[in-house]
Amino acid sequence: MLSASVTMLGTMTVLVGYSSKYGATEGIAERIASVLRDFGIPTDARRVASVRNVSDYSVCIVGSSSYLGSWRPEASRFVRRYRSELATRPVWLFSSGPLGIAQTGAQHLREVTEARPKQFDEFVETIRPRGTQVFYGALYPERLDRRDRLVRKMPAGFEILPAGDFREWGAIEAWATGISGELVHTFAETK
């Protein structure tokens, strides 16, 4: 049974397509891809802008950082452009955004819920992903462009957008492990 699922997994390639302005989301995408590869699942982590053909992939995981409540435009464009291909494949979406260390479970839940990018409702409707997830992100002040530095200087900006790396690697790996389990199961069943 195990050898049958490994054979089936060999015939599928997963795309982890991402949009990352300063590198935080790229790191999350790379970690997700590495977990899938540990399960023997062939996986490419690529910037969405460099993906030419979604049909090359049997499964797509798409992620972007969120700025002012929205996914980055190139990530939204990607999902809209390939809507029909994505709607016929297993798809998961993730977003990286909230910053800081939540003091309580309730605060964590509230921050993750509030950071859900506004495009997720549309994409749930159009491509019916198997899951959507928001992860805490990272902010490196020295990398910010002029506009983002100015946004941070607005009232409460430094509180809402603290500097640091708040990515929760355990939660990211657990999510990727869940997807890997589903894929092993699904592709073994099609055998």
Ligand X SMILES: Cc1cc2nc3c(=O)[nH]c(=O)nc-3n(C[C@H](O)[C@H](O)[C@H](O)COP(=O)(O)O)c2cc1C
Residues that bind ligand X (CB under 6 A): 20-26, 65-69, 96-99, 115, 137-139, 144, 148, 151-152, 161
Alpha helices in 11-72 (DSSP H): 24-38
Q: State the nearest-atom distance from the C-beta of 182 to ligand X, in Å.
A: 25
Backbone angles phi, psi at 131, to 5 degrees: -165, 155
CB 161 to ligand X: min, Å: 5
- Closer of 103 and 190 to ligand X (Cβ): 103
Whichever of 64 and 180 has its CB closer to ligand X, that residue is 64
For ligand X, the closer CB: 68 or 156: 68
Nearer residue to ligand X within complex by CB, 8 or 163: 163
Q: Closest Cα to residue 180, out of 54, 40, 63? A: 40
Cα–Cα dist 79/81, whole Å: 6
- Which of 65, 76 has the CB closer to ligand X? 65
Q: How far is the CB of 152 from ligand X (least distance, A)?
A: 6
Could you tell me how many helices (H) and strands (E) the chain has, helices first? 9, 8
Q: What is the nearest approach in angstroms of ligand X to the Cβ of residue 101? A: 14
Query: What contacts 95, CB < 8 A, 6 or more positions away?
Result: 63, 64, 65, 66, 71, 115, 116, 117, 120, 132, 133, 134, 135
d(CA 100, CA 137): 9
Least distance to ligand X, CB of residue 184, Å: 29
